[in-house]
């Protein structure tokens, strides 16, 4: 019997045909693999959040193998000597075991925590990108709302996770959370006792937070992220204006292979950065905080950075109690305003912003092209105002650490925060607005007069004039100026952007090709139009 | 009365006699003598019993204390006043603060103070150990007060686990969980514990310097103090930070800074690089 020769090269193709025969996936898959994504570095910021969420799931699953979510009291006898013989909750003891006795446990715990901080940071940075470029406009308002909700759900995930180890710091945070719930008028005491199962701290809160942290909130996050990505897929990604890019097409790279490979590489980079931080930087040293006792509150007890703005608003709030003479007398405590009302307003304003802006501008059109921040000065200025408001609150949340390390009076810090919270946002609005107008004006100037060459020419009559390199051919005017329209994208403002220094040398650390000779006369560079790019479309039109 | 009896009785009795034949001149002379004698008696008694005019400047100081007083009169008297009684608006009275207080303030360089401000800062000490002891001895002999026990290793036999618990209950509110210190109101602060020696921590607990409360022996027994010192010196200072670089142990504030300065910055550069590869 003759042995059949195995043709290795044909195997994948045969297997694929086999799969397609059975499942008929070739047509939808081709469409998927040919889907086009526009390419710009700022479009990768949301991916940082997505990839750190993946790392969170991976490390979190590892941690659940060893974490014991119970508040039963045990006496620690693990390998961390300074706590041996100390009574503590089983949750804290198992967190210590993860840190000191489980192989690789500490680096996993630290990676989980750094990934959580990175997740929230990337969400905020991504949100700023979406805001300042106007990517939230119709038809993408829903995705903006989902994104804002992702921040708040991530906030809850972070807070519940921060509370799980049951160390001194998390207990202090829980105590504050219970106080915030108590401050809600009328329903406060019921909310608190139903969440804590009675009086703070009770014996149930760690188990409840555990289920919320490992099941409910991640489930919600996965659902929201799926819808978020699905909508990006359905509505297609926004793109910057440029040659060949219109409101009705998408110019970029196919999903497969380039885009998928790049994303895979970027995931590795994100994973690597988180792993490096988890291995190099100590985060949340729970063994120093000790087990939570109601009478232990350390100085510099702060929440993680994304909750710090609430801590800051609480520190800046004056002690204004509002007594209401009903029945035996009722008091709205000052804590209620900065920790319940303020975040409520922030959630409302941030989620509703797309509609507020569209209403204000009477703008009902769909926008698939992004705007440069300078081209929407009012929006950019509002964003700067919000950012400065948030930064003042966040810094005030750490004002005791800042006061101590920079030797400033804590009272001065508090007053600086109070005044700064009112003064800086309007100032930021004004300054940003003027900056945007200035940048716009400079763009128009360059388009009209050309790029500054840095060459000063002396005329026969003794005048000095600066030589400009016009960006377009002369239109026959006496001054030789052409007229170019601003298209909403970067205007070249330096000669080497026009190729005056010759093409850029390719290569990351060392040149991978021999550099060509630079042109001899920088005053008269060989400016050529760049070769036309072909439009790569997904094959379907937008409407 | 017979003359024999007269002779047997004393001078005073005879002086008290009033013989009818005494002349007017003699009676006057006698009165003058008696007045002078009474005055001398009263003056003498006053001189013996009343405190001498120079007593305040010359208490019975031991040798070391006298040396300390000499140092005090040069370096401390401006603010703490003559005989350490304090100067209104400048420095408090040191009568009764004890050697522990002097030892803490002087050996950590806080005294002499550089200037009047919310709180004295730790500096390189101005006085040697010997001089510090002399100053402490002087203040001790002025008014008594708490004294740090002998020896440099006050943490001997200290139980680190119980010290940690006591530290977290009593100290971490101000000095923070890592002993790095923290802010108090109006520019005051709880200093970092890292440069402090055993004796300085003990002295601080005993004397309650600046804004620190006093932890007397009835609040924290000497062996509990030893526990706390052992925890600070052996755990907080010599902990190897198993998680890596500790970011100053300032809690979540520097961790938040790190995620932006390291994590986000690194990844934004990575995205610039990846997006540039098209």
Please give the model's pTM, rounded to 2 decimal places: 0.85
For the packed helices A308-316 and A377-397, what is the interaxial angle rounded to 10 degrees? 80
For the packed helices A188-196 and A168-182, what is the interaxial angle rounded to 10 degrees? 150
For residue B12 the two structure tokens come to: 């005073």
Q: Which of A298, A292, A287 is nearest to A81 (CA)?
A: A287
Q: Over 60: is that where the pLDDT of A1 sits?
A: no
Per-residue confidence at A478, pLDDT binned at 50, 70, 90? very low
Q: Which strand (E) or helix (H) includes residue A332?
A: strand A330-332
Q: How far A374 CA sits from the closest chain B CA (Å)?
A: 21
Residue in A46, A300, A311 to test binding to B, most B beta-carbons within 10 Å: A300
Tell me what pLDDT residue A99 has.
95
CB atoms within 10 A of CB A331: 12
For the packed helices A141-163 and A217-235, what is the interaxial angle rounded to 10 degrees? 160
Q: Over 60: is that where the pLDDT of B274 sits?
A: yes
B121 known member of a binding site: no
Which of A371, A389, A414 corresponds to the end of one domain?
A371
Tell me what pLDDT residue A334 has.
94
How far is it, in rounded angstroms, from Cα A310 to Cα A315? 9
Per-residue confidence at B219, pLDDT binned at 50, 70, 90? very high
How far is it, in rounded angstroms, from Cα A193 to Cα A184? 13
Residue A393 near residue A305, CB atoms below 8 Å: no
Tell me what pLDDT residue B44 has.
77
Tell me what pLDDT residue B19 has.
53
How far is it, in rounded angstroms, from Cα A126 to Cα B160? 47
Per-residue confidence at B58, pLDDT binned at 50, 70, 90? low
Q: Over 80: is that where the pLDDT of B197 sits?
A: yes
β-pair partners for B146 = none
In this prediction, residues A445-473 reach a mean pLDDT of 87
Q: Mean pLDDT over all residues of chain B?
A: 86
Q: Mean pLDDT over all residues of chain A?
A: 90
CB < 8 Å to B259, chain A: 114, 117-118, 121, 277, 305
How much of chain B, in percent, has pLDDT values that exceed 90?
Answer: 53
Tell me what pLDDT residue A238 has.
93
Q: Over 60: is that where the pLDDT of A521 sits?
A: no
Tell me what pLDDT residue A258 has.
87
Q: Over 80: is that where the pLDDT of A367 sits?
A: yes
Domains B63-143 and B160-242 share a fold: yes
Q: Do B177 and A269 touch (CB under 8 A)?
A: no
Residue A350 near residue A203, CB atoms below 8 Å: no
Per-residue confidence at B16, pLDDT binned at 50, 70, 90? low
Tell me what pLDDT residue B1 has.
42
For residue B143 the two structure tokens come to: 């008014």
How far is it, in rounded angstroms, from Cα B31 to Cα B25? 10
Q: Which strand (E) or helix (H) includes residue B218?
A: none
Tell me what pLDDT residue A7 has.
83
How much of chain B, in percent, has pLDDT values that exceed 70?
Answer: 87
Residue B241 contacts A where some CB pair is shorter than 8 Å: yes
Chain B 89-128, residues with CB within 8 Å of chain A CB atoms: 118
Tell me what pLDDT residue A145 has.
96
Same domain, A160 and A61: yes
Could you read off the pLDDT of A9-29 as tens digits, one per residue? 889 889 989 999 999 888 888
Could you read off the pLDDT of A322-353 as tens digits, one per residue? 999 988 888 999 999 999 999 999 999 999 99
Decide if A232 is inside a domain: yes
Same domain, A314 and A216: yes
β-pair partners for A539 = none
For residue A127 the two structure tokens come to: 């949100």
Which residue in chain A has the smallest CA separation from B183? A404
Q: Which strand (E) or helix (H) includes residue A324?
A: strand A322-324
Tell me what pLDDT residue B72 has.
93
How far is it, in rounded angstroms, from Cα A47 to Cα A40? 12
Q: What's the DSSP call for residue A223?
A: H
How far is it, in rounded angstroms, from Cα A457 to Cα A466? 6
Decide if A204 is inside a domain: yes
Q: Give me the residue spans of the domains in chain B.
A: 63-143, 160-242
Tell me what pLDDT residue A366 has.
93
User: Judging by beta carbons within 10 Å of its beta carbon (0-12, 13-18, 19+), is residue A156 exposed, middle or buried?
Assistant: middle
Tell me what pLDDT residue A94 has.
96
Residue A297 near residue A176, CB atoms below 8 Å: no
Tell me what pLDDT residue A454 has.
85
Residue B192 contacts A where some CB pair is shorter than 8 Å: no
Same domain, A360 and A468: no
Q: Which of A152, A263, A246 is nearest to A541 (CA)?
A: A246
Which of A337, A371, A405 corresponds to the end of one domain?
A371
Helices and strands counted in chain B (H then E)? 13, 2
For residue A510 the two structure tokens come to: 């060392």
The whole domain housing A201 covers 27-241+252-371
Residue B51 contacts A where some CB pair is shorter than 8 Å: no
Decide if A432 is inside a domain: no
CB < 8 Å to B277, chain A: 262
Q: Over 70: is that where the pLDDT of A530 sits?
A: no
Q: Which of A504, A542, A501 is nearest to A525 (CA)?
A: A501
Residue B244 near residue A282, CB atoms below 8 Å: yes
Could you read off the pLDDT of A422-439 as tens digits, one per residue? 999 999 999 999 999 999
Same domain, A330 and A475: no
Tell me what pLDDT residue B2 has.
45
Residue A468's φ and ψ, nearest 5 degrees, are -105, 145
How far is it, in rounded angstroms, from Cα B21 to Cα B18? 8
How far is it, in rounded angstroms, from Cα B155 to Cα A370? 66
- C-alpha dist (Å) from residue A196 to A94, A166, A191, A290, A324: 21, 14, 9, 22, 27
Q: Do B250 and A43 touch (CB under 8 A)?
A: no
Per-residue confidence at B169, pLDDT binned at 50, 70, 90? very high
Residue A464's φ and ψ, nearest 5 degrees, are -110, 135
Q: Which of B144, B241, B157 is nearest to B198 (CA)?
A: B157
Could you read off the pLDDT of A223-261 as tens digits, one per residue? 999 999 999 999 999 999 988 889 999 988 888 888 899
In this prediction, residues B34-53 reach a mean pLDDT of 76
Select from 3.30.360.10, 1.10.760.10, 3.40.50.720, 3.90.400.10 the CATH code of B160-242.
1.10.760.10
Which of A371, A402, A419 corresponds to the end of one domain?
A371
Decide if A1 is inside a domain: no
Q: Over 80: is that where the pLDDT of A472 sits?
A: no
Lowest mean pLDDT among B37-51, B159-173, B223-237: B37-51
Which residue in chain B has the smallest CA separation from A306? B256
Tell me what pLDDT residue A542 has.
46
Same domain, A124 and A224: yes
Beta-carbon contacts below 8 Å between A and B: 213
CB atoms within 10 A of CB A415: 12
Q: Is B183 helix (H, G, I), strand (E, B) or coil?
A: strand
Residue A291's φ and ψ, nearest 5 degrees, are -65, 150
Cα A272 versus chain centre, distance: 18
CB < 8 Å to B274, chain A: 41, 44, 262, 265-266, 269
Decide if A540 is inside a domain: no
CB < 8 Å to B183, chain A: 299, 399-401, 403-404, 410
How far is it, in rounded angstroms, from Cα A268 to Cα A51? 9
How far is it, in rounded angstroms, from Cα A291 to Cα A201? 13
Could you read off the pLDDT of A403-416 as tens digits, one per residue? 999 999 999 999 99
Same domain, A363 and A494: no
Q: Do B278 and A253 touch (CB under 8 A)?
A: yes
For residue A161 the two structure tokens come to: 């996770």
Q: How far A88 CA sits from the closest chain B CA (Å)?
A: 11
Residue A404 contacts B where some CB pair is shorter than 8 Å: yes
Helices and strands counted in chain A (H then E)? 18, 8
Give the side-chain half-sphere CA count within 13 A for A278: 26
Select from 3.30.70.1450, 3.40.1160.10, 1.10.760.10, 1.50.40.10 the CATH code of B63-143.
1.10.760.10
In this prediction, residues A94-110 reach a mean pLDDT of 96
Residue B245's φ and ψ, nearest 5 degrees, are -60, 130
Number of domains in chain A: 2
**Burial B214-224, CB ≥16 within 10 A → b, else e:** ebeeeebeeeb
In this prediction, residues A507-528 reach a mean pLDDT of 63
Residue B136 near residue B194, CB atoms below 8 Å: no
Decide if A411 is inside a domain: no
β-pair type (A253-254, A322-324): unpaired
For residue A90 the two structure tokens come to: 């089983």
For residue A518 the two structure tokens come to: 């630079």
């Amino acid at each position: 019997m003759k042995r059949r020769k195995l043709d290795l090269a044909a195997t994948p193709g045969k297997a694929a045909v086999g799969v397609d025969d059975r499942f008929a996936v070739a047509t939808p898959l081709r469409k998927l693999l040919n889907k086009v994504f526009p390419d710009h570095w700022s479009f990768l910021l949301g991916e940082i959040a997505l990839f750190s969420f993946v790392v969170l799931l991976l490390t979190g699953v590892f941690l659940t193998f060893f974490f014991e979510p119970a508040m039963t009291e045990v006496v620690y006898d693990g390998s961390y000597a300074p706590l041996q013989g100390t009574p503590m909750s089983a949750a804290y003891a198992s967190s210590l075991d993860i840190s000191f006795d489980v192989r690789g446990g500490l680096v996993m715990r630290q990676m989980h925590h750094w990934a959580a901080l990175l997740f929230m940071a990337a969400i905020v940075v991504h949100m700023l990108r979406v805001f300042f470029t106007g990517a939230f406009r119709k038809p993408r308002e829903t995705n903006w709302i989902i994104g804002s909700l992702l921040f708040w759900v991530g906030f809850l995930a972070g807070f519940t996770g921060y509370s799980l180890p049951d160390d001194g710091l998390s207990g202090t945070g829980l105590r504050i959370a219970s106080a915030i719930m108590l401050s809600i008028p009328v329903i406060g005491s019921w909310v608190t006792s139903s969440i804590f199962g009675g009086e703070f701290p009770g014996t149930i809160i760690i188990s409840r937070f555990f289920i919320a942290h490992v099941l409910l909130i991640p489930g919600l996050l996965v659902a929201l992220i799926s819808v978020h990505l699905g909508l990006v897929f359905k509505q297609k990604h926004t793109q910057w204006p440029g040659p060949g890019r219109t409101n009705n097409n998408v110019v970029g790279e196919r999903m497969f292979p380039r885009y998928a490979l790049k994303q895979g590489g970027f995931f590795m980079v994100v994973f690597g950065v988180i792993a490096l931080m988890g291995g190099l930087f100590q985060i949340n040293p729970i063994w120093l905080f000790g087990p939570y006792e109601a009478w232990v509150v350390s100085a510099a007890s702060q929440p993680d950075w994304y909750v710090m703005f609430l801590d800051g608003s609480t520190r800046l709030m004056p002690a204004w109690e509002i007594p209401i003479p009903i029945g035996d007398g009722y008091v709205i405590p000052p804590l209620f305003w900065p920790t319940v009302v303020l975040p409520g307003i922030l959630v409302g304003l941030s989620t509703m912003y797309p509609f507020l802006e569209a209403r204000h501008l009477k703008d009902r059109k769909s926008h698939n092209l992004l705007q440069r921040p300078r081209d929407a000065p009012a929006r950019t200025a509002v964003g700067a105002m919000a950012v400065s408001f948030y930064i003042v609150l966040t810094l005030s949340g750490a004002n005791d650490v800042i006061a101590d390390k920079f030797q400033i009076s804590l009272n001065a810090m508090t007053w600086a925060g109070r005044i700064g919270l009112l003064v800086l946002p309007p100032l930021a609005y004004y300054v940003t607005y003027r900056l945007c107008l200035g940048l716009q004006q400079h763009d128009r100037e360059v388009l009209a007069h050309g790029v500054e060459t840095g060459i000063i020419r002396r005329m026969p009559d003794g005048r000095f004039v600066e030589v400009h390199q016009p960006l377009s051919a002369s239109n026959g005017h006496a001054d030789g100026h052409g007229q170019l329209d601003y298209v909403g994208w970067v205007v070249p403002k330096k000669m080497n952007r026009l190729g005056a220094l010759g093409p850029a040398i390719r290569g990351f650390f060392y040149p991978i090709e021999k550099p060509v000779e630079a042109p001899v006369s920088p005053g008269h560079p060989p400016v050529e139009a760049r070769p036309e790019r072909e439009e790569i479309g997904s094959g379907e039109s937008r409407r | 009365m017979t003359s024999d009896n007269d002779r047997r009785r004393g001078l005073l009795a005879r002086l008290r006699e009033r013989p009818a034949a005494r002349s007017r001149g003699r009676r006057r002379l006698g009165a003058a003598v008696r007045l002078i004698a009474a005055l001398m008696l009263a003056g003498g008694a006053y001189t013996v019993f009343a405190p001498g005019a120079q007593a305040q400047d010359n208490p019975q100081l031991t040798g070391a204390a006298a040396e300390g007083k000499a140092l005090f009169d040069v370096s401390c008297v401006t603010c703490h006043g003559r005989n350490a009684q304090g100067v209104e608006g400048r420095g408090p009275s040191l009568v009764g603060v004890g050697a522990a207080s002097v030892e803490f303030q002087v050996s950590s360089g806080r005294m002499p103070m550089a200037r009047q401000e919310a709180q004295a800062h730790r500096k390189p000490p101005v006085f040697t150990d010997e001089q510090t002891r002399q100053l402490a001895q002087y203040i001790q002999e002025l008014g008594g007060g708490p004294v740090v026990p002998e020896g440099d290793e006050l943490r001997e036999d200290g139980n680190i686990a119980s010290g940690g618990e006591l530290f977290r209950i009593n100290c971490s509110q101000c000095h923070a969980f890592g002993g790095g210190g923290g802010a108090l109101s109006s520019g005051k602060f709880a200093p970092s514990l890292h440069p402090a020696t055993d004796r300085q921590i003990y002295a601080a607990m005993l004397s309650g310097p600046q804004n620190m409360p006093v932890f007397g022996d009835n609040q924290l027994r000497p062996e509990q103090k030893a526990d706390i010192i052992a925890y600070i010196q052996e755990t907080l200072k010599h902990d190897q930070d198993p998680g890596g670089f500790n970011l100053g142990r300032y809690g979540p504030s520097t961790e938040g800074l790190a995620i932006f300065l390291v994590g986000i910055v690194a990844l934004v550069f990575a995205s610039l690089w990846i997006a540039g590869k098209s």
